[in-house]
Amino acid sequence: MAALENKHFDLGAGSVRDLNQFLHKELPASGIKHIEIENPDGQHSIAVGLDAPVEIDILGHAGYFIGGMNKEANITVHGNVGWSVAENIMSGSVRVKGNASECVGASGHGGLVVIEGDASSRCGISMKGCDIVVGGSVGHMSAFMAQAGHLVVCGDADPGLGDSLYEAVIYVRGEIRGLGADAQIEEMSEQDLSTVQALLQQAGFDYDPKTFKRVGSARQLYHWNADAHQEY
Amino acid sequence: MDKPIYRKPIYREGNASYNDSTLHYIRQAAEHGLYEIRGLGAKRQLPTFDDLTFLTASASRYPLEGYREKCDTKTVLGTRFAKNPIELDIPITIAGMSFGALTANVKDALGRAATIMGTSTTTGDGGMTPEERESSKQLVYQCLPSRYGFNPDDLRKANAIEMVIGQGAKPGGGGMLLGQKISPRVAQMRTLPEGVDQRSACRHPDWTGSDDLTIKVNELRELTDWEVPIYIKVGATRVKNDVKLAVAAGADVVVVDGMQGGTAATQQVFIENTGIPTLAALRQAVEALEEIDMLGQVQLIISGGIRTGADVAKALAMGADAVSVGQAMLMALGCNSPTYFQDGKEIDASEGYARLNTAAGYCHHCHTGQCPVGIATQTPELEQRLDPDWGARRVKNYLQTLNMELTTLARACGKSNVHNLEREDLAALTIEAAAMAGIPLAGTNWVPGEGL
């Protein structure tokens, strides 16, 4: 890759504000295809609001809202992240090489989020069409009120999984320690197997899709029903 | 001689505990096994701005000429951090109401009227429609717990962002839109199955406590390059704490929605039994800003039952920078009116109200989607009952009237700028209002609770 297509940004010297301003205003027309961000040092809101096909490597641990509302960019964090990585992601991808704290991909509308380690609670909360693949385990209440998209968990899932699910689908390879209200374990169809296969491939994990269980919505909370036990 | 007729009198002893409305409530609960859901705001009697009066000019103050001397109404919101604060011609804004709860025609009419009058309108719990973006010069984009349709493209088109923590009709509760109104377009915008009874989350998906809110507000700043103001809206409960936390989180503008604030659908138990009246909320919000020395640096918008120009003037005198109006805008459009206008004709709406077991003046059935006047619906046939041209004119007239009343009162108080109205211009007419608003009871220097 030509030197002009690469850029280094040192967050030890410059600010997150300077970085994001550059990413929003100058990057799209710059021809730059790859950006390395050094010394993130747990700072928040790094590389939010991207709207360009660029590869971004964040070299270290980062804070909250990394890659928030991402479009088109492919962001990799070489470390751990705080809350709500890739919140409201629209397209492109965000990959975390380490672990992620709470609310991974919250309300994500599209694109792919990969957590190579573990993700804490409410992973995939309110997701609206994005795909999330977690190499390790997820915390409690993951995919809470998830509306569309897929959450693939290669490890275990803590209690309250898929509480109040809409049409999003969860696949878990390990132990399911408890389902949330209106979530149920369902048969894996051929379509499910190919969906899991494709997502694992994109995420770079080599597991047999047949070892995953499918969790979907029983759709009993879709309408008011006086005779059902009211969770609300 | 005929025997005298003895008429045994029927004695009806009133029962305050089990009156008509309580009996109705118990019967409904026994029949349905579900709480009642309805629209609009609190209907119970509460202290309001009606309980205040202006001490207009006399020998000790002199008034401005009503028709000759200028009274400025320009209002600037978001001066703290935003590069581009919102500049409004009048201090009366249109509150957040969703496409879904309302028709696209209504959102269009509100936008057009707001633009003509130089004020802003606000999206709602359903995302931004192209119609309202097109028609609204100044559009505030709400960031709600559901995040339905929330996306960076619309975020970048917004003139301000309103982080909604709660609303006065249901502080602590989530949004609600019943299946009748989840039309194909609404379902698509919200990524929901058509016809589902939507019950939104009450907490945001990506932050919880106030420290997180600070980081979230910073993210919104970063997403929009610090260009547009960020409002934080709270339902009025622990107002002092919440306003201070909103300011600490970095808000440019704090919006406080009192318990008379409306909704298109929520549990009646919420509407009538949560929050504090707008009058009390405003006083506490102003005191909170004073205590942290941020009055004037962070702007304050008050909402919840603002209906008249007098309400606006009193709110400004108490310390608000602007007001926000929701329900009354819909009433200007014909909500609860006995008739509607379609194809240039006035048409009787009684049958539509009767189908909902109600009548004009009593309707709060926004949640059913069967709005007899074509405002709170997603049914194509009913939507036709509100012509957006006609509606925009009505809303514009209403806003204009409020503004004229506001300046009339301000001039009479000797103010050349409506933002110069002050608490000293007010007196309270009831002890409750005096206590809640912190304004002396008329004819006295007494503010109940003061000095305690």
Q: What is the pLDDT of residues B333-352, one digit of tens each?
A: 999 999 999 998 999 999 99
**Distances in whole angstroms, Cα of residue B140 to Cα of each of B114, B161, B373, B428:** 12, 5, 26, 34
Min Cα separation B354/chain A (Å): 24
Measure the CA angle with vertex A108, ends B209 and B367; round to 5°.
75
User: Which range, of A87-101, A105-119, B9-23, B419-433, averages the lowest pLDDT?
Assistant: B9-23
Is A64 in Cβ contact with B205 (below 8 Å)?
Answer: no
d(CA A47, CA B325): 37
The model's confidence at residue A232, banded by pLDDT at 50, 70 and 90, is very low
The encoded tokens of residue B423 equal 């608490």
**Distances in whole angstroms, Cα of residue B398 to Cα of each of A185, A197, B57, B81, B92:** 55, 60, 27, 32, 11
Is A227 in Cβ contact with B33 (below 8 Å)?
Answer: yes
Please report, to the nearest 10 degrees, the dihedral formed by the alpha carbons of residues B256, B261, B265, B268 taken in order. Answer: 110
> Residue B27: CB partners within 8 Å, gap ≥ 6?
none
**Quick one: average pLDDT of B236-246?**
98
d(CA A99, CA A200): 18
Region for residue B404 given its phi and psi (left: phi exceeds 0; alpha: psi -120 to 50; beta: otherwise)? alpha
Structure letter (DSSP) for residue A189: P
Among candidate residues B39, B32, B121, B109, the one with its CA nearest the CA of residue B369? B39
Question: Is B224 in CB contact (< 8 Å) with chain A?
Answer: yes
**Quick one: average pLDDT of B280-296?**
97
The encoded tokens of residue B448 equal 């109940």
d(CA B357, CA B351): 10
d(CA A81, CA A101): 6
A103 CB-contact burial (10 Å; exposed 0-12 / middle 13-18 / buried 19+): buried
B137 CB-contact burial (10 Å; exposed 0-12 / middle 13-18 / buried 19+): middle
**A105 close to A123: Cβ distance less than 8 angstroms:** yes
**A33 close to A54: Cβ distance less than 8 angstroms:** yes
* Helix (H) or strand (E) run with residue A74 in it: strand A74-77
Statement: residue B452 has pLDDT above 80: no
Is A87 in Cβ contact with B205 (below 8 Å)?
Answer: yes
Among candidate residues B95, B112, B106, the one with its CA nearest the CA of residue B323? B95
**Quick one: average pLDDT of B204-230?**
97
Stated length of chain A: 232
The gap between the terminal CA atoms of chain A, to the nearest Å, is 56
Predicted local confidence at residue B126, as pLDDT = 87
Query: Could you tell me the residue ranges of all domains in chain A?
Result: 41-217
Q: Which domains does chain B have, with CATH numbers?
A: 49-437 (3.20.20.70)
Please report, to the nearest 10 degrees, the dihedral formed by the alpha carbons of residues B416, B419, B420, B426 taken in order. Answer: 120
Region for residue B7 given its phi and psi (left: phi exceeds 0; alpha: psi -120 to 50; beta: otherwise)? beta
Predicted local confidence at residue B417, as pLDDT = 98
**CATH 2.160.20.60 correct for A41-217:** yes
- Kindly report, residue by residue over A133-167, the tens digit of the pLDDT: 999 999 999 999 999 999 999 999 999 999 999 99
- Kindly report, residue by residue over B53-102, the tens digit of the pLDDT: 999 999 999 999 988 899 999 999 999 999 999 999 999 999 999 998 99
A208 CB-contact burial (10 Å; exposed 0-12 / middle 13-18 / buried 19+): exposed
Min Cα separation B133/chain A (Å): 20
The encoded tokens of residue B163 equal 């982080």
Residues of chain A that touch chain B, judged by Cβ-Cβ distance less than 8 Å? 16-17, 20-21, 24-25, 44-45, 48-49, 51, 63-65, 68-69, 71, 83-84, 87-88, 90, 103, 106-107, 109, 122, 125-126, 128-129, 144-145, 147-148, 166-167, 221-224, 226-227, 230, 232
- Kindly report, residue by residue over A71-84, the tens digit of the pLDDT: 999 999 999 999 99
Measure the CA angle with vertex B319, ends B118 and B424; round to 5°.
125
- The long-range contacts involving A69-73, CB below 8 angstroms and separated by at least 24 positions, are A69/B151, A69/B152, A69/B155, A69/B223, A70/A94, A70/A111, A71/A111, A71/B152, A73/A47
Contact list, B36 vs chain A (CB under 8 Å):
none
Residue A150 phi/psi, 5-degree rounding, is -130, 140
Average pLDDT of chain A, as a whole number: 95
The encoded tokens of residue B257 equal 């929605």
Measure the CA angle with vertex B239, ends B234 and B242; round to 5°.
60
For B150-182, the DSSP string reads: --HHHHHH-SEEEEE---TTSTT---EE-GGG-
Query: Residue B388 in 3-state DSSP?
Result: helix
Handedness of CA A57, A59, A60, A62 (dihedral sign): negative
Residue that is written with structure tokens 């003061």 in the block: B450
Statement: residue B269 has pLDDT above 70: yes
Min Cα separation A206/chain B (Å): 30
Min Cα separation A193/chain B (Å): 24
d(CA B289, CA B281): 12
> Residue B73: CB partners within 8 Å, gap ≥ 6?
B89, B90, B91, B403, B406, B407, B417, B418
Average pLDDT of chain B, as a whole number: 95
d(CA B448, CA B452): 9
Alpha helices in B319-387 (DSSP H): 327-332, 350-355, 380-383
The model's confidence at residue B3, banded by pLDDT at 50, 70 and 90, is confident
**Quick one: average pLDDT of B245-270?**
95
Among candidate residues B215, B209, B211, the one with its CA nearest the CA of residue B230? B215
- Kindly report, residue by residue over B101-158, the tens digit of the pLDDT: 999 999 999 999 999 999 999 999 989 999 899 999 999 999 999 999 999 999 999 9
Residue B307 phi/psi, 5-degree rounding, is -125, -30
Q: To the nearest whole percent, how much of chain B has pLDDT over 70?
A: 100
The model's confidence at residue B34, banded by pLDDT at 50, 70 and 90, is confident
Predicted local confidence at residue A65, as pLDDT = 98
**B292 close to B358: Cβ distance less than 8 angstroms:** no
Measure the CA angle with vertex B289, ends B288 and B295; round to 5°.
160
Min Cα separation B228/chain A (Å): 14
How remote is the C-alpha of B278 from its chain's centroid? 10
Contact list, B216 vs chain A (CB under 8 Å):
64-65
The model's confidence at residue A38, banded by pLDDT at 50, 70 and 90, is very high
Please report, to the nearest 10 degrees, the dihedral formed by the alpha carbons of residues B236, B237, B240, B246 taken in order. Answer: -60
Is A71 in Cβ contact with B215 (below 8 Å)?
Answer: no
Region for residue A45 given its phi and psi (left: phi exceeds 0; alpha: psi -120 to 50; beta: otherwise)? left
For chain B, the C-alpha Rg in angstroms (whole number) is 23
Contact list, A45 vs chain B (CB under 8 Å):
215, 218-219, 222-223
Statement: residue B253 has pLDDT above 60: yes
> Residue B167: CB partners within 8 Å, gap ≥ 6?
B233, B235, B257, B261, B263
Beta strand B75-77 pairing with B86-88: antiparallel
The encoded tokens of residue B346 equal 């006035």
Statement: residue B30 has pLDDT above 80: yes
The model's confidence at residue A4, banded by pLDDT at 50, 70 and 90, is confident
